[in-house]
Amino acid sequence: MVVSHKVISTIVPVGAASLGWADYETKDLTLHKLRLELPNWPHQLNGYKIVQLSDLHLETLHIKLKAITELANSQKPDLLVITGDIATARSDLNHVTQALAPLQAKDARIAVMGNNDYAHFSHTQFDEYLRHIASLGIRVLINEAVKVTSGTHAYWVVGVDDPATAHDNVPLAFAQVPNDGLPRLVLAHSTDCIDGLYNRKVDLFLTGHTHGGQIVLPLIGAPIRNTLLAEEGIYAGYHVINGIRVYINVGIGTSGIPLRIGVKPEIAVFELYQKTV
C-alpha cells in the first residue's frame, strides 16, 4: 500500500509528536557498520573503509552538523560518498559549506545528486551549486566515472545521476569505464536505475532516497514507498538483487514530514574485503 505524504501528515505526526519519542528518533543519529566480502576486491585493500552519507536535506535538518561530521570523520574513511539530496536552494549554500567542508577521507570524497538537489534550482543556479560543492574538494559525478587510486591499487566509482527526476543515464555513466578488471562501485540517489546495471559488472551499488520509509508503523510497515523496489518491500539496508550487492541508506534528514518514526537517521560504514572460497 502506498500513501501520500499529505495523508500521512494528517494522521501520524500529531499523535506521534505528543509522545515525544518520534522527535527523539528523528535526532538519534546512528552508525551502521557492515563488513562486506567482494569477489573482485583486491586483498591488498582488505579493510578498506567507505563512509556513506545520504539525504541530508539541510533545509530541514534536525541534527547538528558538528555531530554528523564528527561521527563520519571518527571512522577515518578511505572514501567518503554522498548519495544525493544535500540541499534544495541557493540559500542553503552556507549550510552546504558547514556540512561538507569538514568531512574527511584519505583517497576521495565523491557525491551524486538527488531529486531535491534538482527541485528548486534553475540551470544557472544548479551549475553554481555544483561549482560550490566542487570548491569544497568534493567530486560530483553526473553520469560519469572516476578512477580512485589507493596506494598501488585502484577501483572505479561510477556516478549515475538522479533516477527520480529522469536524469539517469547508465550507458553514459559507464562509457569511461574500460574492461580492465578493476572493481566498480556505483552510486545513485535511487535504486530506480538498477535495471540498467544488471548486464554490467557491478561490485557494490550504494543508494538512498527512501529514508527507509521515514515513517514505519507496526503491522503496516512503511506506507510511503517511493521506488519500484520499495513497492516490493525493499527500501532499506543490504540486499543482493539479481546478483548485485545493494545498500539502501535510510539517510539523515527528513522530507515532507519533519519526523522519523521507527527509522533512525544513519551514517553507513562499509569495510571491504576480498571474498575467499
Whether the per-residue pLDDT at 7 is higher than 50: the answer is no
Q: Please give the grid coordinates belonging to residue 272.
A: 571491504
What is residue 153's predicted lDDT score, i.e. its pLDDT? 96
Whether the per-residue pLDDT at 25 is higher than 80: the answer is no
> pTM here?
0.90
Look over the chain and give the mean of its residue pLDDT values, rounded to a whole number.
90
Whether the per-residue pLDDT at 157 is higher than 60: the answer is yes
What is residue 23's predicted lDDT score, i.e. its pLDDT? 65
Q: Quick: pLDDT tens for 173-191.
A: 999 999 999 999 999 999 9
Measure Cα distances from 232 to 1, 7, 225, 235, 245 in Å: 10, 21, 9, 8, 17
Q: Quick: pLDDT tens for 99-129.
A: 999 999 999 999 999 999 998 888 999 999 9
Q: Is 270 helix (H, G, I), strand (E, B) or coil?
A: strand
What is residue 80's predicted lDDT score, i.e. its pLDDT? 98
What is residue 22's predicted lDDT score, i.e. its pLDDT? 57
Q: Quick: pLDDT tens for 224-244.
A: 788 999 889 999 999 999 999
What is residue 223's predicted lDDT score, i.e. its pLDDT? 78
Sorted by sequence, the CB contacts under 8 Å of residue 149 that are 6+ apart come out as: 107
What is residue 250's predicted lDDT score, i.e. its pLDDT? 96
CATH numbers and ranges of domains, the chain: 5-274 (3.60.21.10)
Q: CA 185, CA 100: separation in Å to the nearest integer?
A: 21
Q: Quick: pLDDT tens for 62-76.
A: 899 999 999 999 999
Q: CA 229, CA 209: separation in Å to the nearest integer?
A: 12
